[in-house]
Amino acid sequence: MGSMVETAGAVIIGGGITGCATAYELAMRGLTDVVLFEKDYLTAGATGRCAAGVRQQWGLEMNIRLSRGSCKILETLEEDLGYPHSIEFKQGGYLLLAFSGELLEQFRKNIKLQNELGVPSREVSIEEAQQIVPHLCTDELVGATFCPEDGHANPFHTTMAYAHAARKLGVDIRTRTRVTGIDVSEGRVVGVQTDRGYISTEIVYNAAGPHSGPIAAMAGVEIPVYSERHQILVTEPVTPYQGPMVISFERGWYCQQTPHGAFIAGLGDPSEPRGINNEATWQFAELLAHEVLRILPSLEELRVVRQWSGQYNITPDAQPILGGVRGLDGYYMAVGFSGHGFMVAPMTARLMAQMITGEEADMDISMLDLERFERGELILEPNVV
């Protein structure tokens, strides 16, 4: 006796913020027979390991629009999705530090563009920076910029809010189910193989984060991405006293205080080898403490309670690859977000759902296609960590 082959309107691979938000946006557009496969549990990838910072202070119009659009969506997300918990979106701002005149010059150019696009960012004097963050040591500081609408959210609740809303609209989310193959025939996607069976579909969406390269390869698509470990730690909670996220591009670290009172801080190591590695090292904790305490010395009092790591998925220009692939119908991807995939996810999901359903797009993202690397049209964003 043969069993019926299962069919889906679309298959999403990956249960992080990108996959869950896109599932919701597709279902909102009437594509409700969507199946999402997640090999572990929702948020198991980069999403559940990230700092979930949301900043609009970018240097390129595309990034400003993506992050501003996402920020606006996050402001009313709980209500819009009917989520019964808080996503803990705290708009305490982002204070961007400049330790050189060169970076400050760049910040000034960025602010001009941000303001033209409606972002309420501004340059602040050293005195004002210290008013905004009273425990800031300004000895080495050359300048700073501030945007009061930037902030951070709880990545678990934000993802669950989307998943919850997607399920209500009929999306079938299957955790503990690993995709093992993508079936392609005559230039189009025809099905997806998992460790729990085969499903036929004409649309597959790669939202596999650090695993985006191997997933693309299953469809015969080669994408120029690699993954890289980034470490992060959290302190014991204390009475809130730091409003904004404080960040230094030059020194590669960021530090925020969550509504719960814990400080979360991370730092990128330029010598980190490529690959997937979830180990945590004492060298990271030591280096982070050294760098952050130079600027935020009062944090010295705090005990670190936990440290972990996750991966950035990185392209040659550290900007995502969004879209399909010429010559392969039905394959889409939203991958390669480096260290900023959380903050652009709400808008990315909407734009990708518009692309997949053939709806008119809210903004042009054609410059983020895979072929830009062949064309040599890399997107050079100055404000990237």
Ligand X SMILES: Cc1cc2nc3c(=O)[nH]c(=O)nc-3n(C[C@H](O)[C@H](O)[C@H](O)COP(=O)(O)OP(=O)(O)OC[C@H]3O[C@@H](n4cnc5c(N)ncnc54)[C@H](O)[C@@H]3O)c2cc1C
Interaction between residue 149 and ligand X (CB under 6 A): no
Query: Which is nearer to ligand X, 68 or 211 (by Cβ)?
Result: 211
Interaction between residue 13 and ligand X (CB under 6 A): yes
Site string for ligand X, 41-80 (x = CB under 6 A): ---xxxx-xxxxx---------------------------
Site string for ligand X, 225-264 (x = CB under 6 A): -----x-x--------------------------------
Residues numbered 260 to 289 that lie near ligand X (CB under 6 A) are 266
34 near 28, Cβ under 8 Å?
no
Minimum distance from residue 204 beta carbon to ligand X (Å): 11
Q: Which of 60, 24, 68, 17 is nearest to 319 (CA)?
A: 60
Query: Which is nearer to ligand X, 44 or 113 (by Cβ)?
Result: 44
Report CA-CA distances (Å) from 61 to 192, 196, 199, 314, 334.
36, 43, 40, 20, 19
Query: Which is nearer to ligand X, 70 or 121 (by Cβ)?
Result: 70
Q: Which residues are CB-neighbours of 161 under 8 A, at least 6 positions away?
A: 77, 78, 81, 83, 85, 87
Minimum distance from residue 78 beta carbon to ligand X (Å): 19
Residues numbered 352 to 371 that lie near ligand X (CB under 6 A) are none
d(CA 174, CA 12) in angstroms, rounded, equals 10
CB atoms within 10 A of CB 131: 10
Instruction: For the chain, give percent helix, strand, coil, nearest 5.
Output: 30, 25, 40
Beta strands of the chain (E only): which ranges?
A: 6-8, 10-13, 34-37, 53-54, 94-98, 122-124, 143-147, 151-152, 172-174, 179-185, 188-194, 197-201, 204-206, 226-235, 245-248, 253-257, 263-267, 304-314, 321-325, 328-335
* Helices 17-28 + 155-168 axis angle, to 10: 30
Site string for ligand X, 311-340 (x = CB under 6 A): xx------------------------x-xx
Site string for ligand X, 195-224 (x = CB under 6 A): ------------xxxxx---x---------
The amino acid at 210: P
Minimum distance from residue 70 beta carbon to ligand X (Å): 9
Among 17, 64, 163, 351, which residue interacts with ligand X (rule: CB under 6 A)? Answer: 17
Query: Which is nearer to ligand X, 37 or 146 (by Cβ)?
Result: 37
Among 178, 259, 307, 382, which residue interacts with ligand X (rule: CB under 6 A)? Answer: 178
Q: Which residues bind ligand X (CB under 6 A)?
A: 13-19, 37-40, 44-47, 49-53, 178-179, 207-211, 215, 230, 232, 266, 310-312, 337, 339-343
